[in-house]
């Protein structure tokens, strides 16, 4: 017979939890946590950030039922959600916790609860519309991302390149993607110079995204290639205009 995870109280914590701590508390209080697929638990080992919110609630005649949505952002940019059901089966009894991998299982479990039919005079329905979990803007590759950031900053020759604070953030990068940026024309094309603009997008350990903008050009006195790096696309394009104007 399988043994569920050790039980834990369901209560708010004053200090922010890591994704691992949040998962451990959820599994610790859920009576059926041993039923979760090993694959699901394994995917959550690489969680970068998490969000937990009340989804709906039903209170009537001393009985209650709440559902919570727990979502984790994973290192590959995808999101994984677990659904928690909290309920009592008799007035004044201790709450019980259950966890499910999808809403269909959650709904099936909810219908089995011995709650009375909806009675508007006593029902206190609560439904919280959650904001969508932010989806990453890029498809990240998780190979040597922090090293890629170091090399990018090292080859930047502009004096106003990103500093130590940005470098420290990028030391936690767990994924990155490089794309060539096109868009509005600038003086560079008219001057017949070679300019290329690239976005280097990084996924950080806390789930935040950070982009650096690399300008490669030949607007140098001897025509050699030069690399400049900026913290915004606007700053990078302004630098392209400025370099082109100097060589016109």
Residue 160: per-residue pLDDT: 94
Question: Going by DSSP bridges, is the β-strand pair 226-230/126-127 parallel, antiparallel, or unpaired?
Answer: unpaired
Q: Residues for the chain: how many in total?
A: 248
| Residue 92 and residue 23 share a domain | yes
Domain containing residue 31: 19-127
92 lies in the same domain as 192 = no
What residues contact 201, with CB distance under 8 A and at least 6 apart? 137, 138, 140, 176, 177, 178, 179, 209, 210, 211
**238-to-157, 197, 200, 228, 243 alpha-carbon distances in Å:** 16, 12, 18, 12, 9
The answer as to whether 12 is a domain residue is: no
Query: What pLDDT score was predicted for residue 133?
Result: 47
- Asked whether residue 115 falls in the same domain as residue 150, the answer is no
Mean pLDDT, consecutive 10-residue stretches, the chain (248 aa), reads: 31 58 89 90 84 80 84 83 87 86 90 63 41 57 84 94 93 87 54 78 84 89 88 91 78
Q: What is the per-residue pLDDT for 97?
A: 92
Pair (150, 117) in one structural domain? no
30 falls within a domain = yes
- pLDDT number for residue 138: 65
Tokens of 213: 């903008």
Quick check: is 140 in a domain?
A: no
| pLDDT, position 93 | 79
Q: What is the model's pLDDT at position 98?
A: 94
User: Are 185 and 119 found together in one domain?
Assistant: no
């Amino acid at each position: 017979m399988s043994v569920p995870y050790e039980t834990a109280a369901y209560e708010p914590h004053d200090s922010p939890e890591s994704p691992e701590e949040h998962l451990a508390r959820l599994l610790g209080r859920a009576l059926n946590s041993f039923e979760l697929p090993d694959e699901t638990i394994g995917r959550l080992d690489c969680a970068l950030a998490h969000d937990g919110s009340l989804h709906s609630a039903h209170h009537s005649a001393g009985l209650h039922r709440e559902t919570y949505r727990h979502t984790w952002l994973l290192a590959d940019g995808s999101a994984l959600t677990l659904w928690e059901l909290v309920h009592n089966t008799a007035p004044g009894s201790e709450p019980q916790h259950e966890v499910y991998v999808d809403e269909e299982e959650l709904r099936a479990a909810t219908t089995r609860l011995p709650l009375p039919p909806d009675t508007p005079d006593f029902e206190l329905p609560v439904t919280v519309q959650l904001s969508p979990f932010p989806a990453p803007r890029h498809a990240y590759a998780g190979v040597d991302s922090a090293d890629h950031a170091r090399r990018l900053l090292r080859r930047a020759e502009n004096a106003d390149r990103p500093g130590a604070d940005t470098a420290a953030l990028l030391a936690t990068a767990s994924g990155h993607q490089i794309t060539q940026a096109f868009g509005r024309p600038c003086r560079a094309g008219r001057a017949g110079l070679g300019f290329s603009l690239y976005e280097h997008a990084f996924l950080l350990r806390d789930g935040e995204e950070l982009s650096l903008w690399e300008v490669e050009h030949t607007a140098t006195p001897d025509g050699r290639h030069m690399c400049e790096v900026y913290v915004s696309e606007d700053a990078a394009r302004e630098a392209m205009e400025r370099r082109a104007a100097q060589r016109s």
